[in-house]
Structures are given as structure tokens and as C-alpha cells.
Chains A and B, each alone.
Chain A
Amino acid sequence: MAMLEVKNLGISFGGLRAVDGFEMQIEKGQLYGLIGPNGAGKTTVFNMLTGVYKPDDGSIVLDGKDITGKKTIDINKAGIARTFQNIRLFKDQSVLDNVKVGLHNHHTYSTLTGILRLPKYFKVEAEMNKKAMELLKVFDLEDEADYLASNLPYGKQRKLEIARALATEPKLLLLDEPAAGMNPNETKELMDTIRFVRDEFDMTILLIEHDMKLVSGICEKLTVLNFGQVLASGNTSDVLNNPQVIKAYLGE
């Protein structure tokens, strides 16, 4: 069975049908791309997948479990983590702590344990530090571990957001325009990182991106959204050669 099965998903804002009859199937371990013109509804799909918006209709099934309309927290616990189109870091916390917040639900001790500094506190904190540093290393951020997140350059902030999402140990990782604002070299590096994450963590990844180099470089499958509806879907090369897609999205 597919890792993620989305059926007939739809949502309206006032009179605007932002997403309509959206379908998608992602297999475990896939690197999947969601592309489409500006305002097509890609971010809105992410928002429905993660419970930020409640879909008006349709269903979302993750790993056999129906998560339609659930709250963001529960969806995260069920196994979806994401990054945001406009970066949302915990700006006044250190880079390390940003990741440790991500580890929140998997390395626990009670508040009282924390206040009283019982032995468990030290044990779990040490685990968390180790785990967080491992994650930071993947993204080449270990040297900046004690910087304030807001002091990182843009590209590194995007990477940190991915690291934080990964820390929640998701089954499915959603990335919203991870390469936006990066120059070609940084984008190349990012592509390697995403591939590494997929292989190393055995992750399923769904990403939104306008950078065609990245999309064609790493995505195995694509779905194209246009005006809220699926325009095309399938293997990357097929989709990218689809005349309709070229007309609506790629140009020339």
C-alpha cells in the first residue's frame, strides 16, 4: 500500500476553489515533486496535509491511517513533518535548540524531572544533544550549533528547517520550495542533501519547487497542479515533456 493516499481533496476560500479533486499516491521511499504555476494551490495542499487547513472534502490516508482533518500536532505525531515556504524558525533559540524542539516527542521526560534535574534529565538531554548534533552534521550545520537561528544566512536557515522537521522522525517529509533564494551552487548542494536524507533516513519526501534543475534532478515522480486541479501526474521525464505542462508551467 502507498505511504500517502490522497483522494478527491478540495478546499475553498470564500468563492475561490483553491484546490479541487486533488489526487496523489506516494510510495514509501519515493522522492516526489509537486509543481505548478503560482497560486495553483500547492502550498494549500501542504496545509491540508499537515492540518493547518481542514479540507472541505476528500480524504488523506497516511500509512493506512486516515488523518483527514486532524490537528497539526496529531498529524505530526502520525508522521508528517514539513518546512514552510516562508521560513519559520524559532528565531530566538539556538540552532541546536531548534533541532531539540523537533526531538520533543521522541525523547521525553516530565517537566518536574526537568525542574528537579533528576538523573533522567541528564540522560535524555545527552541523548537529545547527540541526536541533534548528528542531524546538524548531515546538514553541515554543526559548527553553528550555538548560533541564534536568526543569525544564520538564508540558505542555512532553510537547511535547519529541514533538520528540525527530520528530528520529529516523520514517515513523510514535506518541503515547500526548499531552494528558493539559493544560488545555483547552493541548490546543487541542497539536492545532494535531500538525496542523502532520503537514503540515509529511509525517508519519503514530497517537495514543492519552481527550480526545474532541482525537480528534474532529484524527483522520481511529479504531480502538476493548475488552478487547483491536477494537470498531469507520473514519471518526472514524462510529465516534464507533457505539452500541457510545458504550456501552463514550463514555457517555451
Chain B
Amino acid sequence: MAMLEIKDLEVYYGVIQAIKGISFDVNEGEVIALIGANGAGKTTTLQTITGMLSAKKGSILFEGTDITKVPGHKIVSMGMAHVPEGRRVFAELSVYENLKLGAYTRKDKQEIAESLERVYKSFPRLKERKNQLAGTLSGGEQQMLAMGRALMSKPRIILMDEPSMGLSPIFVEEIFNIIKEISASGTTVLLVEQNAKKALSIADRAYVLETGKIVLSGDAKELMNNESIKKAYLGE
């Protein structure tokens, strides 16, 4: 059974339909890439999965449980984390407080401290700036914080919305290494990226979204060699 199963999902903004019936699944331990042009509906899909938006039709199964109607905060405590588009850090709180909030659903102080150390190890800049207000961080620093914060919940599956946006080239490499590490440590990853090339290079499988529909899917390496993909998303 797939870890995450989306079936015939339809999502609306008011009367505008953003997702027009998509189905896909994510198996435990996989890295799945979701790619598509601007406005294709990638963010909408992720937001619907974590309960920030509600689906009009269709269902979302997480480890066999139907979470379509489950309130967002409960989904998080079921083991799902989300690095949102636009970072969404708590601007008036310090870096440390932001990270602490990431572990909101967890109880064991010892384990939380361990996670914190791990995050600081992946993102040394955050450790340097742990008392700085998150709102004053640079764009890239905020992106790191958003990622670190999501990791603090020790999720079994993590949804990432354009984690490499605004990062320096060297750090883009780094972030993809971190994603690989996360995956290697057993966490399932659903990755939305504009940097399709990089995303496909680390993904197991991928889905291509166009104006609210899935138009292509398959093995990531194969898709990388698909001519139309190359043309539309890899800029070759």
C-alpha cells in the first residue's frame, strides 16, 4: 500500500478550479518530484494534502487513513511535515523559537534537543543566528529556517515546496544533498521544484502537472530524457 494516495482530487478557489481531478501516490521511502510550470497547481496540491485548503472532490489517504476531512494540525501530528511556499517563517520570533515550534507536536525533550542539533549541523547559519528575529534573516536564510523547522517535527513524510528557491548555487547543491540524506534516513519526500533538473536527478519517480492535471508520470530518470520534458522544463 502506498504511504500517500491521492485520488481524483479537485480543488477550487472560490469558483476557479485549480486542481482538476488528479491522482497519484507516494510509496514509503521514495522521493517523488512534482514538476510543472508556474500556476500549474503544485502548491495547491501540497496545501490540500496538509489541510491548508480543502478538497471539493476526491480523497487523500495517508497510511491508509482518509485524511481528506481531517483538520490540518492533526495531519501534522500524524507524521507529515510541509515546507511551505514563501517560507512562512514566524517573523517576530527568533530562529530558535521558530525551530522549537517545529517540534510542537513532540513531547520528548531529549529527542527534540537531538533534532535541534541535527538541524544546526545541516544549517550552521541557523545556529549562528539562533537569537535573530526570523523576519530579519536574508531570503536564503529564511529558506533554511523553513526547512529546518519542518525537520524538527521528525516527520515520516515531508512535503517541500520549492526548497531551493533563492539559495546560492553552492547551497542548492547542499540542499539537495540534505534532501538525499533525509530520504536515506527513511523519510519519504514529496518535492515540488522549479529546478526540475535537480529534482529529477534525485527523485525516484515524478509527476508532471499542467493547468491542474497530471499530464505525464513515470520514472524520474526516464522523464529526464523525455524530449518534451527537456524542452518544457529543463530549458534545453
Q: Which residues of A are at the interface with B, using a C-beta cutoff of 8 A?
A: 13, 16, 35-40, 42-43, 85-86, 153-155, 177, 180-188, 210, 212-213, 248-252
Chain B residues, CB < 8 A from A252: 173
- Which of B162, B173, B234 contacts A251 (CB under 8 A)? B173
Chain A residues, CB < 8 A from B78: none
Interface stretch among B21-29, B92-100, B114-122, B131-139?
B131-139
In the complex with contacts A38-B144, A43-B139, A181-B165, A186-B38 CB distance below 8 A: yes
A183 touches B194 (CB 8 A): yes
Q: Which residues of B are at the interface with A, using a C-beta cutoff of 8 A?
A: 37-39, 86, 125, 132, 136-141, 143-144, 162, 165-174, 194, 196-197, 232-236
A39 touches B125 (CB 8 A): yes
Give the shortest distance, in Å, between A241 (CB) and chain B (any CB). 14
Chain A residues, CB < 8 A from B166: 38, 85, 177, 180, 210
Nearest opposing residue in chain A for B194, CB measure? A183
Task: Tell me the bound Cα distance from A52 to B141 in angstroms.
Answer: 20
Task: Tell me the bound Cα distance from A1 to B192 in angstroms.
Answer: 47
Chain B residues, CB < 8 A from A185: 232-233, 235
Give the shortest distance, in Å, between B189 (CB) and chain A (any CB). 20
B165 touches A38 (CB 8 A): no
Task: Tell me the bound Cα distance from A43 to B132 in angstroms.
Answer: 17
Task: Tell me the bound Cα distance from A37 to B125 in angstroms.
Answer: 11
Q: Add 10 more A-B contacts to A39-B138, A43-B139, A182-B38 (CB < 8 A).
A: A37-B140, A37-B170, A38-B171, A177-B166, A180-B165, A184-B197, A184-B233, A250-B169, A251-B169, A251-B170
Give the shortest distance, in Å, between A187 (CB) and chain B (any CB). 7
- Which of A16, A36, A181 contacts B168 (CB under 8 A)? A36
In the complex with contacts A36-B168, A182-B194, A184-B233, A155-B141 CB distance below 8 A: no
B233 touches A38 (CB 8 A): no
- Which of B86, B132, B140, B233 contacts A183 (CB under 8 A)? B233
- Which of B137, B173, B196 contacts A39 (CB under 8 A)? B137
A177 touches B233 (CB 8 A): no
B168 touches A43 (CB 8 A): no
Task: Tell me the bound Cα distance from A185 to B197 in angstroms.
Answer: 12
B167 touches A210 (CB 8 A): yes
Chain B residues, CB < 8 A from A213: 235
Task: Tell me the bound Cα distance from A153 to B232 in angstroms.
Answer: 17
Nearest opposing residue in chain A for B233, CB measure? A183
Chain B residues, CB < 8 A from A40: 138
Q: List 29 A-B contacts (CB under 8 A).
A: A35-B168, A38-B125, A38-B141, A38-B144, A38-B166, A38-B171, A39-B137, A39-B140, A39-B141, A85-B139, A85-B166, A86-B139, A153-B38, A177-B139, A180-B139, A181-B162, A181-B194, A182-B194, A183-B37, A183-B194, A183-B196, A183-B233, A184-B234, A187-B235, A188-B235, A213-B235, A248-B170, A249-B168, A251-B173
Chain B residues, CB < 8 A from A249: 168-170
Chain B residues, CB < 8 A from A43: 138-139
Nearest opposing residue in chain A for B143, CB measure? A38
Give the shortest distance, in Å, between A153 (CB) and chain B (any CB). 4
Task: Tell me the bound Cα distance from A251 to B138 in angstroms.
Answer: 20
Task: Tell me the bound Cα distance from A184 to B200 in angstroms.
Answer: 14
Nearest opposing residue in chain A for B39, CB measure? A153
- Which of B38, B168, B233 contacts A210 (CB under 8 A)? B168
Chain A residues, CB < 8 A from B162: 181
In the complex with contacts A183-B233, A185-B232, A187-B235, A37-B171 CB distance below 8 A: yes
Task: Tell me the bound Cα distance from A212 to B167 in angstroms.
Answer: 11
A38 touches B139 (CB 8 A): yes
Chain B residues, CB < 8 A from A153: 38-39
Chain B residues, CB < 8 A from A35: 168
A154 touches B169 (CB 8 A): no
